[in-house]
Structure 1
């Protein structure tokens, strides 16, 4: 019985087939069988051409239909879908314009790929929500533009970030697309939620979750609330650690925020933290062998990783450095750079770390914090963690997950130490909400047990 031809015999060219010696094959093939082989090949080639023709017709009809639908709404805005994130300076490379998109929940099933669902409100709706961008609804100003408070048709309170027309340039356009791409991929209770975005004529708008209790810097300055006590500052540090752990570990690919600072940490009415402003965010390389991203330096003076500044190599550990600066800011109450202070105190992290190394960390403690054995212990241990985060070489810095676990241990020790003191209530400010701890066992994203296991929100 003759053997059927092995599929490795079918070569890509006739010349290669002719040069193949039959003695190298498992069995001899007759001319008749070779003829059958060519017949089978010709049959499949013909079938492939027919199938390709059918797909071409279907694709043409689909595109034609899509163009017809696009023309109906072209008077307002254009649509956008994400495909690339390889810009050399600020991150994503999104190749088309955008129309307002919205989410029905904290993300979508397509968030991993950066795809945005179909929009359900317009530029006119945003104008109405903000009172036509009235001064009374203005809540902030930044490098991106002006931020307004608004209320959507469904009653949701939102923050509307609107680009200044006189600053509409390529850099801002990339920052706008960068923020959308990052926000479309995240879903966590300690990160602001994206409601939608749009490009309308010469305007760029991002609609995000409204957090109405100011930012961390305002609370540290006493502009908001009654001043944050040590327990609240520790909770905020843990919230930020959870947010960054999520970005670095639980998104695909990982996201590097690149602009962690006190003014980008929004505070809720319950004094919880939400990380905002993803304009400088970068998606880490998907190549598992890659150790860093070579990119233009972005960030805020005083918070930027010096190794990143020197080498232009960005990693998740650059966020860890910024987090270390933030920890020092939380414990001292000072800005990272205090130009009006004596020379030795102008760079806050240097002054604070010097005080810690000399055993005089209490000197660096924010004078607005109440002193007690429990609060002093927290300041010392948090500054020691900050010292690790601020290591000059990134390999020496802990991961954000490690930081979260250390902070959980500090809080556990703090609660034990504070509960044994009659003044435990003084570790919270007057505006700290009354929360039932039993209902918040998983509130911070980590199970409170011996292992401090991280839980993604």
Structure 2
């Protein structure tokens, strides 16, 4: 029986499990690629065909591969030419991977290829001239690589090509005229390449099927050719960021299909051409930053524009009334021109205006009452004009307003009562007018207000108690008015207050008790009022105060010794009624002018007090009193110190475990109690605005860094009460939510967080070499040789690139600076401090306007400081400043620069003195070439226009190229490929 079964088995046909030839080719391709994310795990030899593999599409009847899409899979390696063995392959997409080396010439063997997308990779070398030999190719996208050299002449003979995009490469030469021969083209995009200066070829007017023409930042010069008017199917024309000159040709008004025209940042002159009424589909015209003149044609204003940007031109003339007739106009930005006349009084009545910026012009007349008639106005910016009349009552009902800037006009009359209390407004700027009346109590409703700027007006009356309800207020500037009465007691509830400037008013009474709650106060200016009483000792506890001016008042008593605790850049207590001896620290000639005009004030400085015997005796009495008081304070302080130390010791030994909540983000080898036992002053390694940082050495010998957040108070908005002991929560939630989910070698590791009702701890990995800023700008800065600095730059760039491109949603750090880049024992860099980090909107439009600026002086991108809108490019700017710090060895802001910051100083010094006067003299000159190339990357990152700055992913690519074996001698600077110039060149 068994023999019979064996014979039957042997005689039956065996199943064949063999992969077909196309699958074998793909298997070989798999072995040539690096696949760190296992994207090709399904490519196995157990299948008979590859049709079910990831990224593979087959023709159903023949089971042959027709399409390969491995986009965003992080695969790396040279372009796999073996794919061309797939006879029916029509589409290859390897978008946003790490395909490197050069694109081989034998790509022309992919004879049936119609779609080739290799954008955002690491390809180098010249463009293969054999690409034009692909007879059916319709789509070619090589954006965001490092192709160099000229566009091959063969590119003028593509037979069927419809889309070609070569954006963000290193192509040179000029834009060739032979591209005008590819009449099948529908999209031509050559933007952001460092071409040599050249004209727009008139032959491009032969591309009558063209729908999109993007030549942004291509180093174009000369006039716009009339022949572009032949492109009747064109919907999008972008010639921005070039050096085009001459008038805008009237032929552009024949582009009857055009929806968007962008001509900004050129040198165009003359008037806008007549004939725009032909462009019935036009929705956006941006001719900003040119040298255009004349008036805006009436016919243009009657078009259904969605966006009209004509700012920073040299327009002269009035704004025509017809601009108010546009039915869907929602954004009108005409700032920084020479426009004159009055505004159309029905502006906004026919269109849902959202953003209106007419700043820095010469407009006159009244502000139209109709601006917010549709109830959607969010930003109203009219500063630096000559508007007259009062603020329209209708604006007090415009609840959508978030930013209002009406400063430096000739406005008068009282501010409408409801205008003070707009519920969503966070910036209200009315300075430099002739407005009068009182600050209304309705201001209590402006719960989001962070900046109230009303200086240089005629406001009068008391500062209302309701001002203390504005829990988000960070700046209150009301100087040079006629405000009277005493400061309201509620003003000490403004815990976020950073600037309080009320100088040159008629304020009286004493300073309110409780001003020690102003923990964030940076500037206090109450000069030239009638304030009396003593200077409170509590001012000395305001740790971040650096500007204090109480001059020209009626303050009496002595100068508090506690003022010695402050690190002041400006101190002025002159012209008061102060008396007694100066605290020892202020008995210096540099402070003499700070105390003049106080007849009873004595100190060893010329001009402070007379040397009569009576005064001398009084001085001895004061000296004895001070000695006695000082001894008593030392004794009381010693007893208090011993008591608190003893209480903390007992608390640590008999700790109630139930009070603590531990949230860990990694596997821990320690407990929170081991951390708490070592949080004493001997272990403090740093202190900042948010708290102290301790170094804690655990029982296993490992060190961690512990940030203990400052305690504070929290105001109950509805009751007005102060809840004692509530921990100030700034940055804690952002830090935990961000670092808790991030895993990257160049992002500082957050081990865990520990919380109780009145304490919050963040436990990080310990960085032995501290912060880059502390090390670079200390006496140890010479230890950072160029290879070490280069390693730090690359590490930090990779960390930021991860945040911007690999996190979902992307994260904007918002406070990139040298002090937030920490260094481990091998000088590996970690990006740290995510207290103000924000996730990018899932719509891809970046972050909405912030209510206040986050970041540090010298690192803040110019567009962020003006618009309060932040994107990933804001981080790129800050990182560029860090690069300049590492290359120059200088601080981002330094008295040496005068009114400039580091970016402006570098640019000016390069132009005037050459690169040798910019580079850090501590660096070895043998690395001069590499250092100079990195310097140019820093300048590219700090370009004034965000669109000119590279992404952080591209920054990493450029940095890695500099460190590679094939060291390039040129790098993009301000969007152009330029050599690194030396003084002796």
TM-score normalized by the length of structure 1: 0.61
Higher relative contact order (CA 8 A, sep 6+): 1
Would the aligned equivalents of 1:149 and 1:159 in 2 still touch at CA under 8 Å? Answer: yes
Would the aligned equivalents of 2:663 and 2:753 in 1 still touch at CA under 8 Å? Answer: yes
Would the aligned equivalents of 1:161 and 1:205 in 2 still touch at CA under 8 Å? Answer: yes
Match of 1:250 in 2: 806
Match of 2:112 in 1: none
Distance 2:913 2:963 in 1: 21
Would the aligned equivalents of 1:102 and 1:120 in 2 still touch at CA under 8 Å? Answer: no
Of residues 674, 682, 692 in structure 2, which corresponds to 1:125?
A: 674
Aligned-residue offset at 1:218: 2.4
Would the aligned equivalents of 1:356 and 1:383 in 2 still touch at CA under 8 Å? Answer: no
Would the aligned equivalents of 2:767 and 2:824 in 1 still touch at CA under 8 Å? Answer: yes
Secondary structure at the aligned position of 1:173 is classed as: coil
Aligned-residue offset at 1:252: 1.0
Match of 1:283 in 2: 839
Distance 1:370 1:396 in 2: 31
Distance 2:781 2:916 in 1: 24
Of residues 110, 118, 135 in structure 1, which corresponds to 2:681?
A: 135
Q: 1:352 to 1:164 in 2, by over 3 A?
A: same
Aligned-residue offset at 1:416: 9.6
Q: Does 1:318 align with 2:864?
A: no
Distance 2:820 2:773 in 1: 9
Aligned-residue offset at 1:198: 2.2
Q: Does 1:405 align with 2:967?
A: no
Would the aligned equivalents of 1:258 and 1:282 in 2 still touch at CA under 8 Å? Answer: yes
Q: 1:151 to 1:101 in 2, by over 3 A?
A: farther
Q: Does 1:203 align with 2:759?
A: yes
| CA deviations over 1:143-171 (Å, ceiling 9, x no partner) | 11100011345554211000122578999
Structure 1 residues 347-386: aligned runs within 5 Å = 347-358=901-912, 360-372=914-926, 375-386=927-938
Aligned-residue offset at 1:392: 1.4
Distance 1:181 1:142 in 2: 21
Q: Does 1:145 align with 2:691?
A: yes
Higher share in helix: 1
Distance 1:252 1:342 in 2: 40
Distance 1:351 1:226 in 2: 22
Distance 1:301 1:178 in 2: 21
Distance 1:352 1:337 in 2: 12
Aligned-residue offset at 1:406: 0.6
Match of 1:259 in 2: 815
Would the aligned equivalents of 2:858 and 2:892 in 1 still touch at CA under 8 Å? Answer: yes
Distance 1:251 1:210 in 2: 24
| CA deviations over 1:81-121 (Å, ceiling 9, x no partner) | xxxxxxxxxxxxxxxxxx2212335xxxxxxxxxxxxx996
Of residues 898, 905, 921 in structure 2, which corresponds to 1:343?
A: 898
Secondary structure at the aligned position of 1:274 is classed as: strand
Distance 1:393 1:403 in 2: 16
Point out where structure 1 has 5 or more consecutive residues left out of the alignment. 1-72, 78-98, 106-118, 418-457
Q: 1:101 to 1:329 in 2, by over 3 A?
A: same
Match of 1:240 in 2: 796
Aligned-residue offset at 1:135: 2.1
Match of 1:391 in 2: 943
Q: Does 1:303 align with 2:859?
A: yes
Secondary structure at the aligned position of 1:160 is classed as: strand
Distance 2:966 2:916 in 1: 16
Distance 2:871 2:731 in 1: 19
Structure 1 residues 45-60: aligned runs within 5 Å = none
Distance 2:881 2:769 in 1: 22
Match of 1:294 in 2: 849
Secondary structure at the aligned position of 1:165 is classed as: coil
User: What do you get for the CA RMSD once the two structures are aligned?
Assistant: 2.6
Range with greater deviation from structure 2 (250-259 or 213-222): 213-222
Q: 1:342 to 1:335 in 2, by over 3 A?
A: closer
Secondary structure at the aligned position of 1:300 is classed as: coil
Q: 1:144 to 1:166 in 2, by over 3 A?
A: same
Q: Does 1:176 align with 2:732?
A: yes
Secondary structure at the aligned position of 2:754 is classed as: strand
Would the aligned equivalents of 2:961 and 2:967 in 1 still touch at CA under 8 Å? Answer: no
Match of 2:743 in 1: 187
Q: 1:357 to 1:408 in 2, by over 3 A?
A: farther
Aligned-residue offset at 1:274: 0.9
Secondary structure at the aligned position of 1:279 is classed as: coil
| CA deviations over 1:347-390 (Å, ceiling 9, x no partner) | 22111122334571111111111223xx2112221121111111
Aligned-residue offset at 1:408: 0.9
| CA deviations over 1:383-404 (Å, ceiling 9, x no partner) | 2111111111211110001101
Aligned-residue offset at 1:265: 0.9
Distance 1:101 1:197 in 2: 5
Would the aligned equivalents of 2:727 and 2:759 in 1 still touch at CA under 8 Å? Answer: no
Secondary structure at the aligned position of 1:196 is classed as: strand
Would the aligned equivalents of 1:324 and 1:386 in 2 still touch at CA under 8 Å? Answer: yes
Q: 1:261 to 1:238 in 2, by over 3 A?
A: same
Q: 1:152 to 1:361 in 2, by over 3 A?
A: same
Aligned-residue offset at 1:223: 4.1
Distance 2:664 2:670 in 1: 8
Would the aligned equivalents of 1:213 and 1:224 in 2 still touch at CA under 8 Å? Answer: no
Q: 1:167 to 1:139 in 2, by over 3 A?
A: farther
